[in-house]
Amino acid sequence: MRARSVGYSIYMVLSIMASLTIAAIPAILFFGWFLLHFTNFLNSIGFPFSTLYDWALPLLSGTFDPIVIQYFWVFVLFVPVGLTCYAIFLGSLLGLFKLSRRGIPFLEDGYYSSDTEAWLLYEYYEIYYVLFPYFAGFFSVFLDTKPRHQAFGCKIGNNTVVGNGRLFNPERTIIGDNCFFGYDAILSGHVYESGRLYLKTVKLGNNVTVGANAVVLPGADIGDNVIVGANTVVPKDTTIPSNTIWVHGKAIPRKSKPVAEKLHQPIGGPPPLDPEDEADIPENGERL
């Protein structure tokens, strides 16, 4: 068992180093082509690039070094091209990390003792997902993190905003439609307890709101139209029924209808009657 653990350790380190190196190659090649040929390429297109270049040439020639003239478009477009190279690197790195992850066995849901190889395999399997945000942090400021979680196996429905929520185990997370996560809300598919590692998928229904700093532990099954209060904990293997608010360790029925249901009600006029109330309508059609 120890020999296998050492082998997986070496594989993890080498795969990460190789992924970083290989992912950088296309970005470097693109940037090198940009430095050497981009100015001539744009000028060869003609209007408006050649016109702008001819207009700027006399203004720059007496003030800046000739190298600025030679690499005019490099300086003008340095920031967008730099971001493009960064995106190429991240896209390549994501694909390589996903590929490298396949070399580590995936553990099924259940308990695993700390003195077994499984604990180490779990940590190695997750490290690719943990490392990637350190390289993609710049884009995460401007873009939703949902695509990154999906790339590592999370199932997320339509119109769901992960935002500043944190998914510890995307491959063990299922989220429905129209869900929202408050700041630092955590969904975890694992927990350590009494020298054991417990793994189980977390499931969220539709129209679920998880408040800021709330923690949802493995095995939790949250129904539709549920609000998980801020700073609350949903213990492992807890089932929260639909149309409730989870606060102080218990589910409280919601008194008002969820927003999704209110949107389908007609605007103006009396609210629609329930079938049970139809018997109370007199023959003239007026409400009692």
Catalytic residue among 149, 190, 248, 264: 190
In the block, which residue shows the tokens 């997986």?
8
Q: Could you give the 3-state DSSP secondary structure of residue 252?
A: strand
DSSP labels, 20-67: HHHHHHHHHHHHHHHHHHHHHHHHHH-TTHHHHHHHHHHHHHTTS-HH
Q: Could you give the 3-state DSSP secondary structure of residue 241?
A: coil
Does the active-site annotation cover 190?
A: yes
Q: Could you give the 3-state DSSP secondary structure of residue 227?
A: strand
Length, in residues, of the chain: 288
Distance in angstroms (rounded) separating the CA atoms of residues 144 and 132 = 15
CB neighbours of 186 closer than 8 A, spacing ≥ 6?
Answer: 165, 166, 168, 213, 214, 215, 216
Q: Which residue numbers are catalytic? A: 190
